[in-house]
Amino acid sequence: MRVPALLLVLLTAACAGPPGPAQDATNAKGIASPGDSVKLTGAGEFTTGDTSAIVYDRKLAPEGSQASVTVESSGGQTRTSLVVEGLLPNRRYGSHLHTNPCGKKPEAAGPHFQHHAGQIDPSSEVWLDFTTDAEGAGRSSSRNEWTLTRAKLPGSLVIHSDPTVASGPKVGDAGARVACLNLK
């Protein structure tokens, strides 16, 4: 039986929609066994007192700012999506997954998470730079062609003051750490 054209349009629209449950369709291909899939999430309003969603720079992440991140790893791919609200408007920020959980000090999150040790680029690391809109909201997503293993998971998402340097001697640099979100 042929799939009606209208249904196809609807299915396509669903896949092209914002990150969310619709992306689970990838898993339906059956490439990965259920045991291979890893899902991590983090969300919260950035405060100075809580280390699971902590702010280091109140100018660049004002009171009330918040973020939500989802990492879904299965079927040979890792898909990560980030949504932010309440940041400064019309501004570019850098953002990556880092190795360790957030802490009181910005350095607590450790270096960038890398799938290939020592390889600093968006195919080995998870880069989630974004530009905020006029309201200070923004989003980004990334797709990596590898899966996470439970023995080595990223611990946090860090938002930086500047866009990530993509090449040259300063590759991977993105300025000071503005805020951090724990992944669970």
Give the residue with the Cβ less far from Cu ion, 74 or 142.
Answer: 142
Q: Is 139 in the site for Cu ion (CB under 5 A)?
A: no
Q: Is 109 in the site for Cu ion (CB under 5 A)?
A: no
CA distance 42 to 21: 16
Q: Is 158 in the site for Cu ion (CB under 5 A)?
A: yes
Q: Within 10 A of 35 (CB to CB), how many other CB atoms are there?
A: 8
Q: Which residue has the tokens 């611990």?
A: 155
Stretch that binds Cu ion, among 28-36, 100-108, 144-152, 153-161 (CB under 5 A): 153-161
CB 28, min distance to Cu ion, A: 33
Binding mask 83-102 for Cu ion (x = CB under 5 A): -------------x------
Binding mask 45-84 for Cu ion (x = CB under 5 A): ----------------------------------------
- Size of the residue set binding Cu ion (CB under 5 A): 2
- DSSP tag of 152: B
Residue 51 tokens read as 């280390």
CA distance 180 to 182: 7
Residue 121 tokens read as 């680029």
Query: What residues contact residue 50 under an 8 Å CB cut-off, 6+ apart?
Result: 44
Give the residue with the Cβ less far from Cu ion, 79 or 96.
Answer: 96
- Apex 58 CA angle, 52 and 59, nearest 5: 145
Give the residue with the Cβ less far from Cu ion, 65 or 95.
Answer: 95
* Interface residue list for Cu ion (CB under 5 A): 96, 158
